[in-house]
Chain A
Amino acid sequence: MKKRLLSLLLTASLAAGLLAGCGSSAGKSKDADSVDEAGGKTAMSVEGDDVTTLNVWTFIELHQKFYTTMAEKWNEAHPDKKVKLVLSNMQYDDMHNKLSLALESGKGAPDIADIELGKFPSFTAEKDIKLLDLTDAIAPYKDDVVQSRLDIYTKDGKPYGLPTHVGTTVAFYNTDLLQEGGIDYTAIKTWDDFKKAGIAYHEKTGKEFACAETTASWMVNLMLAQKGGDYLKEDGSLDVNNAKVAEVLHIIKDMQDAGALATVPGGQPDNEEAYPHYNDGEFAVQIMPFWQTSRFTSYMKDLKGKIAIAPVPKFGDSDATWTIGGGGTGTAVVASSPNAELAAEVMAFVKLSPDANKEVWNVLGFDPVNTSVWTDKDLTENPDNQFVQFFNTKPFDTLLTMQDGIGSLKSLQDEKAPSINNVMVTEVLTNIFDNGADIQQTLDDAQSELENEFAS
């Protein structure tokens, strides 16, 4: 009896699954107020014999809509070279692992894939690089694009990835809170000012000023680049325990000890556990890449109208660079794809053309990598734009101030970068700022562990 009931239930739920499955893929009844991302496959509705189908792998659902919008514009402008993008969205780690396995085995790879900056070097590490050299595709846009953002996906002078944004590191100040604490953020020019302001704020309000990162190194890398330091020697050998890295960590540690910084749950501002703490006003300042804008509008909604975007503090005028680009996704083309050349041309248009870069700001809220649009006030100060509405300063004024001072850490292009970053965010920073470990000792341990890893 029970068994019959069971099989009935199973059949019913199977049928429900089938129906619902078809319904949801065909119906597309988009929930109006949902900003959610879900995995899945999307295909453009372009048909015809002359249309080339290109498979694209992404790990951010939002990119899919952006790509299809831009590809439609491409098709309008190039009726002779129409393309149909078929996009698969996968989980972040999973997509990178599958891509590397597929490239390795030569089976099942897509034509185009988004590769995250932290993972990129492992795809260009081998002698026989399986991604397409994009020099020709980039050429039409090269002069307008921030060079340091092309460099991070470059190996031996050949670019393999198309950047999505600059990720200029900026300071986000909660002006409401700072006013209460008697702090004028516009007066913060140097890290010394930053520290003094932090101490004063903490003493007056009892709340925290900014965070000492333990699971990411946005601020650490920024300071290191300003100091002209890096994690590798000139010859590319490991050097994570050098004096400059130690100096930067000491500076941050001093700020922490003085009360200007504190650790935040989740370990960094761009973390699901951290957002509520910023949203509730327990922390007042974030030193983050520009794309943090999109986190404010999605996860820290209560801060609307309270956040100013300002240039990051410096050490002094002799700094090696003012700011750096942080994070990023490089779109790569698989060299063995039968349509590789076309794919490269299309994706360069989709990601680097001025039209595309307008879209990057409007839809994603990122700082566009094609700086020709930065001065387009109709775009950057459009009162209907949700990001313009959210912040109480003009976001692009800050970007333009620092435009000529956007550098990067050279080591990010090296194949050792993912491992170095991993050691930093899972061991070094947490040991120093959470557990109070000795800085030099911790760095020495990290160095020997990395040396061991790359010994063979």
Chain B
Amino acid sequence: MAEETVPMKQEKMKKGSHDTGKIAGLLVLFTVLALLIIAPIYALFVASWKPGEELLQYGLNLNPEFSHWGLSNYKLLFFGDHDYWIWFRNSLILTVITVLLTLLVSAFVAYGFSAYEFKGRNFLFVIVLAIMSVPFEVIMLPLYQQMSDWGLMDNYAAIVLPFLAHASTIFFFRQYLLGMPKSLIEAGRIDGCTEYGIFFKLIMPIMKPAFAAMAILNGMNSWNNYMWPLLVIRSSEKYTLTLGLNTLINPYGDNYSLLIVGAFFSIIPIFILFVAFQKYFIEGMTAGAVKG
């Protein structure tokens, strides 16, 4: 970045007025786009202050209509008799566990693929690629039966296990590790580290940006996962946020009071995760970008 400032300044001096137009143009374009993208979330935010039962009467729209505003939904969210916070806690626990385990296992595997030449490597790697393009929905039903046979129904293990060695995460980590200097491994061996020690002590620390990128993507998936937990989880005290929110949508009367405010709140933790990791995210994505 630092080197770039010099030519930039020169350019600016050359055609400053021309650039101002461009800067303004870009700003207008991206602001309009940003407004369009924010509109539904803004509508959700506005709706969260209006009485839920009358949501459809007033419509989900962008008019703030402050006269209808009240705290009743938020009161309900924080003090009401419902399971929202249980779902919230479940989702949080499940997401944290899934992300930690998936990153660890996938990185472990990816290191195997990138650091060694071994028999069957190419074959196995083609399988990684193949699995990346098998829609999960294809195996969803047989896998459901299998989990049922193994007695893993209603168990978080059934949600986490199939994605521990996550193909696209492995693929990404491998791309990232291909750019790692081999000398690092050699140095580790000379220092007397075991093969696994090298991975845990030397490699994992340099993978931080890649971890950040994948933590966000996997965290997003896990936090918002719906279909598979829906099939696996039976008891309502194990419901995740998406499952729980969906119980509020019912042909026998939707509970918009909790649904809207709960939906709005469900975005917050994952948004914090994103903002905190954003810098690493781009860095990690760039380093692990597909290089063909």
Contact = CB atoms under 8 A, between A and B. Distances in A.
Chains A and B share a contact (CB less than 8 Å): yes
Contact of A25 (B86, B96, B144): B86
B273 A14 contact: no
Given A21-B89, A272-B254, A40 B236 contact: yes
Contacts of B250: 37, 59-60, 91-92
Contact of A13 (B230, B231, B269): B269
Nearest to B81: A30
Nearest to B244: A39
Given A36-B76, A36-B257, A90 B89 contact: no
Given A24-B86, A91-B250, A107 B237 contact: no
Interface stretch (A3-11, A132-140, A337-345, A407-415): A3-11
Interface in B87-128: 88-89, 92-93, 96
A2 B248 contact: no
Nearest to B233: A98
Contacts of B246: 91, 94
Contacts of A29: 79-81
A23 B89 CA distance: 12
Contact of A38 (B54, B248, B269): B248
Contact of B82 (A17, A38, A60, A108): A38
Contact of A298 (B53, B236, B237, B272): B53
A295 B251 CA distance: 12
A92 B85 contact: no
Contacts, number: 153
Interface in B111-157: 144-145, 148, 151, 153-154
Contact of A6 (B82, B88, B144, B277): B277
B83 A25 contact: yes
Contacts of B151: 107
A102 B234 contact: yes
B224 interface: no
A34 interface: yes
A6 B272 CA distance: 8
B67 interface: no
B234 A108 contact: yes
Contacts of A128: none
A144 interface: no
A273 interface: yes
Contact of B80 (A34, A39, A60, A279): A34
A2 to B, nearest CB: 5
A21 B253 contact: no
A377 interface: no
A23 B78 CA distance: 10
Contacts of B237: 40-41
B290 interface: no
Interface class of chain B by DSSP: helix
A299 interface: yes
Contacts of B248: 37-39
Interface in B221-264: 230-231, 234-237, 239, 243-244, 246-258
A295 B53 CA distance: 11
Contacts of B86: 21, 24-25, 40
A77 interface: no
B63 interface: no
Given A13-B269, A14-B89, A40-B82, A92 B258 contact: no
B52 to A, nearest CB: 8
B236 A39 contact: yes
A17 B89 contact: yes
Interface string A186-204: 0000000000000000000
Interface of A: 2-3, 5-6, 9-10, 13-14, 17-18, 20-21, 23-25, 28-31, 33-41, 59-60, 88-92, 94, 98, 101-102, 105, 107-108, 272-273, 275-276, 279-280, 295, 298-299
Given A105-B148, A279-B57, 16 more contacts: A2-B276, A2-B279, A9-B272, A10-B96, A17-B92, A29-B81, A31-B76, A36-B80, A37-B255, A38-B258, A39-B236, A40-B237, A41-B235, A59-B250, A60-B252, A107-B153
25 contacts: A5-B276, A6-B272, A9-B272, A14-B89, A17-B92, A20-B85, A24-B85, A29-B80, A31-B79, A36-B257, A37-B252, A39-B83, A39-B244, A40-B82, A40-B83, A40-B236, A91-B246, A98-B234, A105-B148, A108-B154, A272-B253, A272-B254, A276-B57, A280-B57, A299-B253
